[in-house]
Every structure is written in C-alpha cells, then in structure tokens.
Amino acid sequence: MAVMRVLVERDHALAAAFDAPSAPCIGGDVGSLLHGGNTGVTVSAINEADLSRVDGVIDFSAPGATMQLLPLAVALGKPLVVGTTGFSLDQRRRFDEAARSIPLLVSPNMSVGVNLLFRLTEMAARVLGEDFDVEVFEAHHRFKKDAPSGTARRLIEVVKGSSGHLAAAGETYDRSGIVGERASNEIGVQVMRGGDIVGEHTVYFVGMGERVELTHRAASRDILARGAVRALEYIAGRKPGLYSMFDVLGI
C-alpha cells in the first residue's frame, strides 16, 4: 500500500497489482486498499497479460513469488526492482542471469538512510581495522519470517568485504553458558522480534576504551516505498545490468 501511495504522490500511474492467489484482496480494486475510489486496476495473481501493460515492476513479496515474477519480467523486458529478502544462494544467482537481459535492482533495504549506513559501515570497517570487535544487532516486528534480516546480512557482508582480518570470520548467533573469551575472528549477530517494530539496525565497533555505533531506525515503511520508487525511476530506460541503491544515490 505504501508503494502505491508513493507512486501516486510522484505522479506515476499504477497499471497492475499482484498478490498471492489466496490473498483476500484478489479480484478487488486497488483503490479499496487505499481506502479510496475505484482505480480500474484489479489485484490479481502474477500473470503475463497484466505484466505486459506496465513500464516497470516493484517487488516486495516472498522469494517464491519473486522467482515466479523474474522470468516473466525477463521475457517481457521489464525493469525490475526487488526489495524482497531471504533468497538462497541459487536464487541470487538467477538475478545475475536475469541482469544480462533487463535492468535489475536488488536491495535488502530500499531506505536511503540504510544505504548510507551500508556505506558508513564500509568506511568504519576499513578505518578501524582489527583493533575493534564487530557486532551487528537488528530488530523487527513479530511477523517477520527470516532472521537475521536481509539488511543485517548485507551489513555482515560489508564488514567482511571491507575489513581484511574479518574476511573469513565466523558469525556467532548465540552466547549462553561458559563460552570462553570472545574470538578476534568472529562477528556477533543478535536478533530481536516483537510488536510492530518497523526496523532497527546497529553495527557496533568495540575497541579498548572506545566504541563506535552506527544505527538506523525506521519509523515508517514509507521510507522503503520512497526508495523503491526512486530506484525504479533510476533504472527505467537504462541498459540491462545489476544495479544497487548506491547507483541510485550516487554514493
């Protein structure tokens, strides 16, 4: 719903809307989801006929639905923005293949602020180096199915890619009992689930005598929608390739 609101706010028209075949909104007008009048756009299961009418696609769904959508977008040559998380390694390889045919942007988080967090984490990991231990914390609403979040996983990847001594670091997801001293070649990961938390991520760089904390807190899912629409505006009309939010933001 947030994506649809932002599309309208930015003077775009919604040409199709998809949901799971069992969703209660299937067959209804999109306007009912926005508590407005009829739009003439019916919510349907993913299908080629409706997809052929759009100029680009934004996907916030589930990995299985995304994998159903992906080959249709390729076949029809439609730019695709994917904000879904929880993909397997094999599914992520399919993005690489699809990007040979269409402009494709895949990001675990479409927020402008979170993508700045990715960049700041990269800088901190490179500058602070092995004198600082790294821990990642994330919190989301009680209905989120994957853990840790795709954003947290991306933060871990950023740390490993930017801090040489942690390139092959293990990830510690639980500390209980007598676990011994903390190892230098590990990244601690902690997850909280509860209530209606939209999203919170913190990367801790903990040294002897000082600590650096990089935190992003989301108060509304609209930030994800705004980033996703901005991403689609960016890749529309561009040549095939795998793009990132860094490309969109120029950072």
pLDDT tens track for 133-168:
999 999 999 999 889 998 999 999 999 999 999 999
User: Which band of pLDDT confidence, cut at 50, 70 and 90, is reported for residue 19?
Assistant: very high
User: Which band of pLDDT confidence, cut at 50, 70 and 90, is reported for residue 37?
Assistant: confident
Model pLDDT, residue 31: 81
* Fold classification of 112-218 (topology level): Dihydrodipicolinate Reductase; domain 2 (3.30.360)
* Per-domain residue ranges of the chain: 2-106+221-249, 112-218
Tell me what the mean pLDDT of segment 92-113 comes to.
96
Q: Is the peptide bond before 148 cis (omega within 30 degrees of 0)?
A: yes
Residue owning tokens 């040489």: 164
Over the stretch 178-210, which tens digit does the pLDDT of each residue have?
Answer: 999 999 999 999 999 999 999 999 999 999 999
Report the predicted TM-score, pTM, of the whole model to 2 decimal places. Answer: 0.80
Q: Which residues partner with 218 through β-bridges? A: 199
Looking at the annotation, which residues are catalytic?
A: 140, 144
Q: Which CATH superfamily is domain 2-106+221-249 in?
A: NAD(P)-binding Rossmann-like Domain (3.40.50.720)
